[in-house]
Amino acid sequence: MPSKTPRRKTPTTANALTPAQHADSELFLSRELSQLAFNRRVLAQAEDASIPLLERLRYLCISCTNLDEFFEIRVASLRTSIQFGSTTAMDGVAPTALLDQIHEEASALVDAQYRFWNETMRPELAEAGVRILPRDAWSAKQKRWLKDYFEQEIMPVLSPLGLDPAHPFPRILNKSLNVVVVLDGKDAFGRAGGMAIVRAPRSLPRIIRLPEELSGKANDFVLLSAVLTAFVDEIFPGMRVKGAWQFRVTRNSELVVDEEEVENLAHAVRDELVGRGFRPAVRLEIAENCPKHIVQSLLQNFSLPENAVYRINGPVNLNRVIQVYDLVTDRPELKFAPFTPRPSRLDLEAPFDQLRSGDVLMHHPYETFGAVPDLVAHAANDPDVLAIKQTLYRVGRDSPLIEHLITAARNGKDVTVVVELRARFDEEANLRLADRLQEAGVQVLYGVVGYKTHAKMMMIVRREGQRLRRYVHLGTGNYHAGTARAYTDIGLMTANEEIGADVHALFQQLSGLAPSFKLKRLLTSPFTLHGGLLAKIAREAENARNGKPAGIIAKMNALNESGVIRSLYAASQAGVSIDLIVRGACALRPGVKGLSENIRVRSVVGRFLEHSRVYWFQNNDEPEIFCSSADWMERNLLRRVETCFPILEPKLARRVYEEELENYLADNTQSWQLMPDGRYTRVAIEHDGMPHSAQQSLLSKICR
C-alpha cells in the first residue's frame, strides 16, 4: 500500500460553495440514465473485435437482459412514483420528464443493439459458420422442414385468440413472445376477420437447430419468432393473413409485500409470485413495420403512453439468442480460453488448525470457490462441531453447500440458515430451498421484516478442549458456485475472536429480538455502516486540512446515497484525493471545479462481472481496508442487513489493495472514465505506454 499521499489539488478556498449550497441538479447525476450508460458499456464489449465472437454475442444478449430488468424495476418504480404523486428524482428532475429522457436514451441504445445485430453480429457469425437464418435465407429444403416442424411441434400447443366481444384481449405474460395478426375473410362460424393474438408458450424452444443434412452445416439455427410469423397462416385456414408482427410487453416485476401486515412472509411471497407475470405493463416492444393503428390498439390495451413503445428491427426477444452460445459446442476458438482457478489455500485435512494460525483470503473467480463448501463439508462430519449458521441470498441449483448443511443437520449439528425470500428474481428458488432445508431439520429464518438480508456470512462453532471457538467466512458475493466463476469477489476465512463475536451477535439479531450490539470489528447496515463511512470520510477530510496524508479509494457496483456523496464532495474540497471504481450506476459528478475536482470515477467492464466491494482509507499513513457486501447505495446502507469487515493481516491487506484497487486504477484497456456531465469515455493507453487489463493480469498471475 502507498506510503505517501496521492497527488491532489490544492484545497478549495473558503469562498467556495459547500455541497449543501449547490442545487441537486449540480450535485447528482441521474441514477437511471447512469444505469443506461453502463448498459452501453456492456454493448461496447460486444462491439470489440478483439473479443472472441461468441463472447461478443453473449455481451449483446446481456445488454438486452439488463435492459429488460431496467424496465421491470427502475422504470416500473418511476411509473409507480408518478401514480402516487412523487414530484422529483434525486437529481431534481420530475419523474415524467425523466421518463422522456429514459425513452430517448433507451431508444438510442435499442437502435444500437439491433444495428449491431443486423450489420455486424449476424453476418460475422455466418462467416464463422454459425448461422442464425432469417426467413429470406431459408432454402426450399429448409423451409419444408420448418413447415413440418411447425405443424408437428409448434401448432398443437398454440391457442390463437381472435379478438371480438366474446373474446377480449388476452392476458399477456411478462416478456413472453407474441404475434399480433390481422385477418381477412370469415371463420367456420361466419365471423369476420379482424385482429388475433398468437401467444408462444414458454415450453417452446426459442432457438431451433436445423438438421445438418439440410445444408451440410452443423450450426444453422432459426428463431421461433421467425417460424411463427412465416407459417402463421396455417393457424387460420380459410382466412387471409394481411399482416403478422411479433411483440413483447415488459411488466413491473417488483414484489409488493406489506411485511408489517403479513403473518407468514413465505406465504405472502408465494401469493405475490402467482401474479407477478401479469402486473402493470411498462414497455411495449413491437416489430418496426407494424402499422400505427395496431400499435395504438396495443398501447391502449396495456394502458401505456407513447413513450413506452420501442420499434424493433429484429427479434423482440433478442436476448434469447444467448442459447446459441451453449448450443455451439464444437468451436472453442469462438469463446474465451478456459481457465482453471487456483486451488484452495485452505488445508482441507485440518482447516481449523490452519485458521487458528492465520486468516485465509480468496479472490474469486481466480481462486476456487470450492473451499467454502469444502469447509462446511468438513464441519458437517467433525464430531467437535456443534453448530453452523449461514446466510443465503442466492445459491444456485444443486449446490453442494446445501447438501453439506443437510448432512450437518442429520449428523446432529445445530444448523441455522437465514434464507432471503425477497432476493429479486430468485424468490421462487429460495422458497423451494427453504422448504427443503426445513424438511431436513435445518432451522430456517427469513431475516428481519422490512430489511433484506444481503450479508454474506457463515459461522462454525466448535468445541476445543474447555472452550468454544468460532470460525467465520465473510464475503462480498453470494454463496453461489456458478456466479463465483463469473463474478469477481473477495472471501475471508478467519478465527479472529473479535470478528467471530461480531458475527455471532449479528446472527442473534437475525434470529430473535436481540438488542443493537456494539460490535468491535464489523460495520453493519442498517446500524453502523452508513455512519461509519461518513465518519471515515470526514476523518480523511480533517487530515487533509491539517496537512496530513489523506486519501480514499473505493470499489463497488453502484453509488447513489446522497449523504455519502455530499461527504465525498466535502472531502474533495478539503483536498482529499479520491478514486472510485464504480462498475454501474454512479450519481456522483466527478471533476467539477470547486466541488469534486479531486474525485475521479472509473468503470471497468470485462470478461468477469465486477462485484467485489473494497474500501480503503489512508488514515494518516496507517491505512484501513475493508471488504463488504454493500454498495454505497441508499438501500444497502439504510434498508438492508449488510456486513463490512476489515482485512487485518498486513500481507492480506496489501494483497487486496494491490489486486483490487491498484491493479484496477492501472487498467487502460477495459476502463471508462466518468465525465462531469455523466458521459463515459474510454481510458486511453498513454503514449509509449503498455496495455494493462486488470482482469487479464489476475488471470495470468493467479490462474493456471
What pLDDT is attached to residue 494? 98
396, pLDDT greater than 90: no
Q: Which is more confident, 272 or 654? A: 654
Write out the three cell numbers for 616.
Answer: 480503503
Domain 53-334 in CATH 3.30.1840.10? yes
Mean of pLDDT values over 490-507: 97
CB 603 within 8 A of CB 672: yes
Place of cell 448498459: 39
What radius of gyration, in Å, describes the C-alpha atoms of the chain? Answer: 27
For residue 466, CA distances in Å to 356, 386, 463, 495 come to 16, 14, 7, 17
17/21 Cα distance (integer angstroms):
6
626/225 Cα distance (integer angstroms):
49
643, pLDDT greater than 50: yes
Sign of the torsion formed by the C-alpha atoms of 28, 29, 35 and 37: negative
Place of cell 453476418: 123
166, pLDDT greater than 70: no
- Residue 98 DSSP SS3: helix
pLDDT band at 512 (very low <50, low <70, confident <90, very high): confident
344, pLDDT greater than 80: yes
- Residue intervals in the chain for CATH 3.30.1840.10: 53-334
Catalytic residue among 454, 473, 611, 692: 454
Work out the percent of the chain whose per-residue pLDDT is above 70.
Answer: 89
232, pLDDT greater than 70: yes
Mean of pLDDT values over 232-239: 87
180/160 Cα distance (integer angstroms):
10
For residue 165, CA distances in Å to 187, 239, 317, 579, 652 come to 15, 19, 30, 62, 70
What pLDDT is attached to residue 594? 92
314-328 per-position pLDDT tens digit: 999 999 999 999 999
Q: How many other C-beta atoms are found inside a 10 Å radius of the C-beta of residue 133?
A: 21
pLDDT band at 267 (very low <50, low <70, confident <90, very high): low
Q: Which is more confident, 256 or 54? A: 54
638/643 Cα distance (integer angstroms):
12
Mean of pLDDT values over 487-493: 97
pLDDT band at 13 (very low <50, low <70, confident <90, very high): very low
What pLDDT is attached to residue 425? 66
337, pLDDT greater than 60: yes
pLDDT band at 511 (very low <50, low <70, confident <90, very high): confident
362 membership: H or E segment, kind and range = strand 360-364
20, pLDDT greater than 80: no
The string over 496-530, giving b where at least 16 C-beta atoms fall within 10 Å of a residue's C-beta and e elsewhere, is beebbbbbbbbbebbeeeeeeeebebbbbbbbbbb
622/414 Cα distance (integer angstroms):
41
What pLDDT is attached to residue 3? 45
Q: Please state the φ and ψ torsions of residue 410, each to the nearest 5 degrees.
A: -70, -20
Measuring CA to CA, which residue among 245, 248, 249 is closest to residue 179? 245
User: Which residues pair with residue 645 across a beta bridge?
Assistant: 627
Average pLDDT along the chain:
90
CB 12 within 8 A of CB 545: no
Sign of the torsion formed by the C-alpha atoms of 556, 559, 564 and 568: positive
Mean of pLDDT values over 554-575: 97
Mean of pLDDT values over 150-163: 89
Cα 46 from chain centroid (whole Å)? 18
Q: Which is more confident, 331 or 6? A: 331
53/325 Cα distance (integer angstroms):
10
Measuring CA to CA, which residue among 588, 568, 566 is closest to residue 576? 568
Give one DSSP letter per residue of 676-694, joined into a string: TTS-EEEPPPPTTPPP--H
45-59 per-position pLDDT tens digit: 999 999 999 999 999
The string over 413-425, giving b where at least 16 C-beta atoms fall within 10 Å of a residue's C-beta and e elsewhere, is bebbbbbbbbbee
Measuring CA to CA, which residue among 233, 222, 136, 228 is closest to residue 178? 228
Work out the percent of the chain whose per-residue pLDDT is above 90.
Answer: 74
Q: How many other C-beta atoms are found inside a 10 Å radius of the C-beta of residue 392?
A: 26
Measuring CA to CA, which residue among 624, 653, 615, 619 is closest to residue 549? 619
Give one DSSP letter per residue of 505-573, joined into a string: HHHHHHHS-------SS-EEETTTHHHHHHHHHHHHHHHHHTT---EEEEEES-B--HHHHHHHHHHHH
399-430 per-position pLDDT tens digit: 899 999 999 999 999 999 998 876 676 678 87
CB 181 within 8 A of CB 236: yes
What pLDDT is attached to residue 35? 96
Write out the three cell numbers for 257.
Answer: 409485500
- Residue intervals in the chain for CATH 3.30.870.10: 19-28+524-702, 351-519
pLDDT band at 15 (very low <50, low <70, confident <90, very high): low
- Which fold, 351-519? Endonuclease; Chain A (3.30.870)
- Residue 122 DSSP SS3: helix
pLDDT band at 189 (very low <50, low <70, confident <90, very high): very low
Sign of the torsion formed by the C-alpha atoms of 71, 77, 78 and 82: positive
Instruction: Please indicate whether residue 267 is annotated as part of the active site.
Output: no
At the top level of CATH, the class of 19-28+524-702 is alpha beta
What pLDDT is attached to residue 5? 44
pLDDT band at 486 (very low <50, low <70, confident <90, very high): very high
Strands (DSSP E) found in 446-513:
452-453, 457-464, 467-475, 487-494
39/97 Cα distance (integer angstroms):
21
Of the chain, the end-to-end C-alpha distance in Å amounts to 26
pLDDT band at 80 (very low <50, low <70, confident <90, very high): confident
Sequence-separated (6 or more) residues with CB below 8 Å from residue 114: 312, 313, 314, 318
- Residue 446 DSSP SS3: coil
What pLDDT is attached to residue 164? 59
Mean of pLDDT values over 634-641: 94
What pLDDT is attached to residue 40? 97
128, pLDDT greater than 90: yes
What pLDDT is attached to residue 191? 53
462/20 Cα distance (integer angstroms):
51
Mean of pLDDT values over 657-662: 98
577-608 per-position pLDDT tens digit: 999 999 999 999 999 999 999 999 999 999 99
CB 585 within 8 A of CB 612: no
